[in-house]
A = this chain, B = another copy of it.
Amino acid sequence: MNKKSIAVDMDNVLVDIEVNWIEAYEEAFGVRIAREAMLGIPEDQAFPDPAAAWSLLYKPGFFRNAPVIAGAQEAILKLQEHFDIYIVSAAMEFPNSLLEKYDWLNEHFPSIHWRNIVLCGDKSVIHTDYLIDDHLKNLDHTRAEPILFSASHNAGIDKHRRVNSWAEVLEFFETEIAG
């Protein structure tokens, strides 16, 4: 039997983009915001100067040097035993990030083959069995079973199955495998 497939988003799911953004802003502008400032609003709005924060996304190295979300590496290895894992990132808005994201995956997730990496724009043309993502714009229109990965910006949203950590992702898929 073919394995079922899971599409896994990068930013806020594999990549701790919140911490990365906070640190990049502090380094560039000397102001450190608290992570809690991002609760329930788009990340850039949490900074004193949202346009300045946004400009950091275009800086070389921003995506390449971001830290991994806790538990993601071990969880992906476990999931690969039972599922085809595709990494699907809406990277096309930031063309400078394309090679950085590829290199980042190679460093932190060497078990992901290039055949299983998708850098795209609109994710509605991606067809997998599941999609783990932090953005409603991706989850609302997917053909996959949507799984909302908690990030500060999506706090309080009561839509789709929510997972708060990679431990919860594994818990969910263990019941899927058993069922």
Contact = CB atoms under 8 A, between A and B. Distances in A.
A127 B128 CA distance: 9
B116 A121 contact: yes
A169 interface: no
A93 B88 CA distance: 16
A132 interface: no
A142 to B, nearest CB: 10
22 contacts: A5-B125, A7-B125, A88-B125, A92-B115, A92-B117, A92-B119, A96-B99, A98-B119, A114-B121, A115-B122, A116-B121, A116-B122, A117-B120, A118-B119, A118-B125, A119-B119, A120-B120, A125-B128, A126-B126, A126-B127, A127-B127, A127-B143
Interface of A: 5, 7, 86, 88, 92-93, 95-96, 98-99, 102-103, 113-122, 125-128, 143
